[in-house]
Amino acid sequence: MIPLDEDKVVKAVEKASKFVVSVSTVTLVSDYMFYSMPVSGIGSGIVYNEKGFIVTNNHVISEARQINVTLSDGRIYEGKIVGGDPLTDVAVIKIPKTGLTEAEFYDSNKLKVGQFVLALGNPFGLVGGPTVTAGVISALKRRIQAKGGPIIEELIQTDAAINPGNSGGPLINLEGQVVGMSTAIIPYAQGIGFAVTSNTVKRVADEIIRFGYVVRPWLGINGVDMNPGIAEYYNLAIDFGVLVVSVIENSPAYYADIRSGDIIVQVDGERIINMNDLLTTLWKKKVGEDALIKVVRGEREFSFNVKLAKSPFY
């Protein structure tokens, strides 16, 4: 049993309960005769700002035909999707209501393993306010692959119980500040849940509210993961990193003189093992920022300062 200041826990929950909402959805699915049938779903959300913007998981609302948001005082509003990002599982919806109590977000870069956290949400669609579970941060910078979806990076792992319906709800500290947003559970594991970091939620939500989608920096290469088989077949010097298959004309990589056959092994001093590492590292940066990219070309190493551009594929 972890010794805790009970008063502090109660105050944190009271503070957070005001910005936790329930998100109910209706999705159309086809049966074996191809007839469409409405299917109800339930999740949770966080009041992002007082203007009526709500953040939740992308997987909660991505296929929804109808969305209803229930506030902490029981009022129900229809929600409209502003945008969603499958790569971080963050989405924003808007309700026609202002003056909401917005969440306070903590800097997730300051989180430590062992820190006490509380998970709030609406498991199983139960009424009467959010449900609270408690635990600790058991790991940071975790990576999981959603079923049939992309790999989600930089997740918080916690042993606070995350039940069905908690998706999109906040993970808070003892000050009632949001440190993450619950995103997934592993059903075959005991006491393991995951949350998107608060910094990721804020960055993605801000861009969705501003642009309707996430603006990601673009390097302009097509590449494949290096492995021992490729290294041996082509007699290459290393067996990790990203092998540049082609460089897109007039892209940042093109102007920086990165070439086909180069192997990207570092970005800003961070080691690159595969394409996921490369994308994760680049997506931490903003359009217009410089990235120092180290490549292996033949038997030599070269470093290129690349100014990242906005992807043309949005």
The whole-angstrom distance between residue 14's C-alpha and the CA centroid of its chain comes to 26
Contact 180, 197 (CB under 8 A): yes
The answer to whether 262 and 295 have CB atoms below 8 angstroms apart is yes
What does DSSP assign to residue 258?
Answer: -
Nearest Cα residue to 136 out of 3, 17, 8: 3
> Which residue out of 59, 85, 108, 251 is catalytically annotated?
59
* Active-site entry in 22, 24, 85, 89: 89
Burial category of 204 from C-beta neighbours within 10 Å (exposed 0-12, middle 13-18, buried 19 and up): buried
Q: Give the contacts of 295 (CB within 8 A, at least 6 positions apart).
A: 244, 258, 262, 263, 264, 265, 301, 302, 303, 304
Which one of the listed residues 22, 24, 167, 198 is annotated catalytic? 167
Our answer to whether residue 89 is catalytic in this structure is: yes
**59 a catalytic residue:** yes
Gap between the Cα atoms of 3 and 159, Å rounded? 16
Q: How far apart are CA 137 and CA 179, in angstroms?
A: 10
Q: Is residue 251 annotated as a catalytic residue, yes or no?
A: no
The residues annotated as belonging to the active site are 59, 89, 167
